[in-house]
Copies of this chain bind each other. A is one copy, B any other.
Amino acid sequence: MAINLQAPKGTRDFYPAEMAVRRYIEDTWRNVSIRHGFVEVDGPTFEFLDLYKIKSGDEIVSQLFHFEGRADKEGQADHFALRPEFTPTLARMVAAKANALPRPIKWFSIPRCYRGEAPQKGRGREFIQYNVDILGGETPEARRQFDIESAALCLAVLKEFGLTEKEIVLKYNDRSLVEKLFVVAGLVPAQFAFGFYLLDRIAKLNPAQRAEQYKQNNIAELQQKFFEKLANGQDPLTDGFWTDLAAQGYDEYRTAIRDAGTQIETTLATMGFGPGWAKYDASIVRGLAYYTGFVFEVADTAGDLRAVAGGGRYDKLVEMFGGPSLPAIGFGMGDMVLQVLLQEKGLLPASLLPKPDVFLVNALEDAAPAQKLLAELRASVFDPATKSITRPGLAAVTSYKTTKNIGKLLQDASASGAKFAVILAPAEFARGVVKVKNMATREEKEVALADVRTALA
């Protein structure tokens, strides 16, 4: 059998350098989330296939990797699917324990997710998706506060990677305000779903395709003109936009948009995300039908890439999964577009591989003293009373070369990036001491063998 040494197309091998980047991204997501008071959760990598139909209908199945479990005695087998996203699992988990969970529920997760489609650039068949959700909020004010907290965390995470308002922008909208906009433009409620659908794709459709959409959906001429203006990037907050259109209740719409925008942008500015970090964008509606209010996307300002992150309010979803009525806001951020952006902007440090604390230079013929010292340096002190580590061990490495040449081994110590070199040499060892060299300052001092661990604290 010829052996295929490649990973399946659309999946990735993480050799040490790639893994270090992944670890950096995941750790940053995790640390910033925890700093903002979120707690981590996760679920199974695969769920019952039916779980994904609840939110997305039967058409989702063709986009999933799905498979059967082992058949039981009656020949019945469960049908599973690899998770394409975390939200259905989140909704299931919340619905199952809704009343036992303290509110607001502030959860994040860093699941690997899967697409059963042909891979495209920046869209793998396996990717890592950071998810953040806040569930709860009795009042519109509390919910709006959570909307802003969610957007602020999204920006805080990206800022932690060194991104600024020069490279990224959070574009927000509110689906309830889009509905107001549709009313202003003269659409009737039965046409709203089509309106959202079209708005979500409008930048990708050419004029002929748009015309076809209007025809199929019986969109009148005046409303076609409205969509065409949006497609051409005109701003419905300018009076000129409406000169030749229906414009019932335009002032009310504009006031609502401006009030919402002022509150969102003022609060974000208070939180350190001033002008340029966030802006209202009438074309942001997010494709998924389950969003009910505030929606946002983070894009690169250059406009070269797919969305870096996206999310919104989904107040009906937990109920849809059999739970109580529980308003919620959440966003997702994939690792692949983010990594491309960080690379393009030169924001990935050259090497993210962990550097050792200590490089042991062993110039003794006997291996045992080096083995003993390495083990002592690496060992943590565990306190059985508190069941915790009271002093963590150090990252200590050595050379596997047979040379005893201290100069050559010190070159390896330097290349390793270690903070300290500890030198076991015959003359010093005979006196019960080692040399400890600070690799940054090049200072050397003698330390008794028994005191090395303490000297490196």
Spell out A's residues near B (CB within 8 Å). Answer: 1, 3-8, 11-16, 19-20, 22-23, 31-32, 34-37, 39-48, 50-51, 53-54, 62, 65-67, 69-70, 78, 80, 82, 89, 92-93, 95-97, 103-104, 107, 112, 114, 116-118, 125-126, 136, 142, 145, 152, 156, 159-162, 267, 270-272, 321-322, 346-349, 353-354, 356, 367-368, 371-372, 374-376, 378-380, 382, 384, 386-389, 392-398, 400
Contact = CB atoms under 8 A, between A and B. Distances in A.
A19 B4 contact: no
Given A8-B78, A32-B393, A36-B378, 18 more contacts: A1-B50, A4-B50, A7-B43, A7-B47, A13-B96, A14-B40, A14-B41, A16-B39, A22-B42, A23-B40, A45-B82, A45-B112, A69-B116, A136-B400, A159-B379, A160-B380, A162-B387, A272-B372
Q: Can you tell how many copies of this chain the complex includes?
A: 2
- Which of A1, A15, A80, A346 lies at the interface centre, i.e. has the most chain B CB atoms within 10 A of its CB? A15
A373 B89 CA distance: 34
A440 to B, nearest CB: 14
A4 B272 contact: no
A20 B112 CA distance: 18
B51 A389 contact: no
Given A13-B93, A43-B7, A96-B5, A375 B152 contact: yes
A409 to B, nearest CB: 15
Given A160-B382, A349-B388, A16 B41 contact: yes
